[in-house]
Every structure is written in C-alpha cells, then in structure tokens.
Amino acid sequence: MKRAAIKIMPYVLVLLCLSLCAFGQEETVQFDGKRAFEMLKAQCAFGPRVPGSLPNAQCADYIESKLCNLGLTVKRQKFNAQTPYSNGIVAGNNIIGIYSGDNPTSDLIALSAHWDTRPVADKDPEPSLRSKPIIGANDGASGVALLIEIARVLKERKYPGRLLFLFFDLEDGGNAGSNNGWCLGSQYFAEHSLGDYDIKAGINFDMIGDRELLIRPELISMKYAADLNKEFFELAKKRAPYQFSNKPYETPILDDHAPFNKKGIPWINIIDFDYPFWHTHEDTPDKCSPISLEIVGNIAVEFIFQRWGKIKKTLDIKEGHEVIKKSSR
Ligand SMILES: [Zn+2]
C-alpha cells in the first residue's frame, strides 16, 4: 500500500498543480478515472465480447451510444473474417467515431483500441479452462473506456482539431505463436478505408488499465513512428515517472498499430505488455485501477493538445481591446 502511494505521488502533485493553474478555465476538465473504470466494468458485465456473440453485439451498441451521446458522428464498418477460433466466417464490426473541432483544416489524428476479447484463455494456468473465452478487463475493455473518456474531455475542453476514434474488432483471435488471425479489424480498415480518411498519425492503446501499470516503448512504434513515440514517452516520463519506462520491450508486439505503419502512417502502441493476467481468466476488473486509466488518459489528452491542438493566436485590435482570435494553422 505504502509503495503504491509513493508511486502515484508525483502524478497527484502534477495534477494538483495543473488544476490550480488552470482554475476557472476549460482546462479544469480532467480525465475522470472513475468514470472510465465504470465503462470498463460495464463492458465486462456483457460477458466475453467474442466476435459473433451476443455480448459482442451488445457491446458494439454500447460503444456507439456513448459516442453518439458525446455528439460524435458514428459509423460502423462491417466485414467478414475467419480466425483460427471462429467456426467458419464471422462478422466483424469496426466502430468509427468522428470528432471535428473548430479547425476543419487541421491534420486528422486517429486514436485506436480493440474492443473484442480473446475467444480462448490460452495462457491460463488451469489447462481445463484454456478453451473458454476471457472477460478481457484490461485486454479489451480498458482501451475502449480510455478512448470514450478522452473523447469526452477533448470535447468539453473544445479541442480544435480533427480526430478519429477507432474501435477495432477481431484483434485478439489469432493463433498463439504465429502471426495469423490477429488484428483483422485494423487490417481491414487499413486496406479499405485509408482513402476515405486522410490520417496523418495514430496512437493505439491496449492493456493500459492494470493496477501495476508499467508501460514501455514498443519496437514497431520505435522503428516506424520514432519521433511520435519519443515525444509521447518524454511527456509520459515527466508526468508519471513510475508508470512509464524508457526500457523497450524485448520483442515487437503485433497490435492494431502495425497495419498502419506498414502503410507509412506513423502509429504508436501504448501498451503494458508485462501484465501477468494476459490471456487468462484472471484478466478481470479487480486487476485494473481507475488511477491507471486516469494517468494514461490525462497524459494522452495533454499530448494531443500539445502536439496537434495548437492554435496560432493573432491580435485583433478592436475598440481599444486586445482580442485573442483563433486562426487556422
Ligand atoms: Zn489480447
């Protein structure tokens, strides 16, 4: 307990300072970890969100309604796929939330997460349970909850740019030990939709809600989106030095960022891959924490504003008053 308290102190102090500095302004709207955590639990309450199942369909409706309530334009991209665990062809659904701020000419940036859950618990210590689907609190629900809460904060803080919130289906149905069957939703989007959306860069979030959060740089991100990755970790290390490390993972992690880097769009993956309950039945809400979601969420919001949300300020002298006026970049 004590160790955990010490670990989050720098983060709490920074947050407190930010809140005080920005008191009375829109900047006081912060990422609410508790609110995000409720969305994590709500998804888990549907049951395992395996593609083609009823909980999967219910969760798709849930995500769409959350995005609609925030005033985003919502689209659903349907596709067919086959995984090592699907019994034949299965229907996939990518969910797309479109956010437009005041500046329609700004670069389009994507934030992504997968919302399906793994159909098997192949890493579970109990062999008899390995064929059953997992609940995916961290591996699935955490990224979705994070994205929806980020959308709320950016909207309330009147983020001026353009964003795509991408919720990919069929990320987690691959064959362990091979590259087959993973990331089918993001692959489909990368193959079929890049002509519709001129995405300049992306950030993928996966397994960012666990209680013992430690996020390290990922090798595909470092190789193909080096600047973006470096800048994100510089900020993250400043804000949450105990939850982020500069020591990269030993191997590349195949995730929903990979198909986009392959197409030349820099896309980083923010993931805690040292999660001990990965692909087991222990990946449940009690292994996750609102504080972890809040740490990553607030860093993400700050990073988005800092990197893509700048508005040039011009002076407009009118009747003796200085007016700060927004102008295009
Ligand atoms: Zn997974």
pLDDT tens-digit map of 200-231: 999 999 999 999 999 999 999 999 999 999 99
**Whole-number pLDDT of residue 311:** 59
Instruction: From 145, 118, 161, select the one nearest 305 (Cα to Cα).
Output: 161
Q: What CATH number was assigned to the domain covering residues 29-327?
A: 3.40.630.10
pLDDT tens per residue across span 93-108: 999 999 999 888 899 9
Distance in Å, CA 328 to ligand 1 centroid: 40
Distance in Å, CA 211 to ligand 1 centroid: 17
Instruction: From 159, 150, 180, select the one nearest 270 (Cα to Cα).
Output: 150
Distance in Å, CA 83 to ligand 1 centroid: 14
pLDDT tens per residue across span 35-93: 999 999 999 999 999 999 999 999 999 999 999 999 999 999 999 999 989 888 999 99
Distance in Å, CA 279 to ligand 1 centroid: 6
The two three-digit tokens of residue 142, written as one number: 């955490």
Average pLDDT, the chain: 89
Distance in Å, CA 250 to ligand 1 centroid: 18
Higher pLDDT, 7 or 36: 36
Label residue 178 by pLDDT band (50, 70, 90): confident
Distance in Å, CA 225 to ligand 1 centroid: 22
Distance in Å, CA 256 to ligand 1 centroid: 11
* One-letter-per-residue 3-state SS of 264-305: CCCEEEEECCCCCCCCCCCCCHHHECHHHHHHHHHHHHHHHH
Distance in Å, CA 182 to ligand 1 centroid: 9
Residue with tokens 């888990």: 44
**Whole-number pLDDT of residue 105:** 85
CA distance 16 to 61: 36
Distance in Å, CA 117 to ligand 1 centroid: 7
Distance in Å, CA 112 to ligand 1 centroid: 15
pLDDT tens per residue across span 304-326: 999 999 754 444 434 333 333 33
Structural domain boundaries of the chain? 29-327
Distance in Å, CA 172 to ligand 1 centroid: 5
Distance in Å, CA 312 to ligand 1 centroid: 41
Q: Give the percent of the chain with pLDDT over 70.
A: 86
Distance in Å, CA 206 to ligand 1 centroid: 8
Q: Give the percent of the chain with pLDDT over 90.
A: 80
Distance in Å, CA 113 to ligand 1 centroid: 11
**Whole-number pLDDT of residue 14:** 53
Distance in Å, CA 186 to ligand 1 centroid: 14
Distance in Å, CA 278 to ligand 1 centroid: 7
Query: Do the beta carbons of residue 165 and residue 149 sit within 8 Å?
Result: no
Distance in Å, CA 267 to ligand 1 centroid: 19
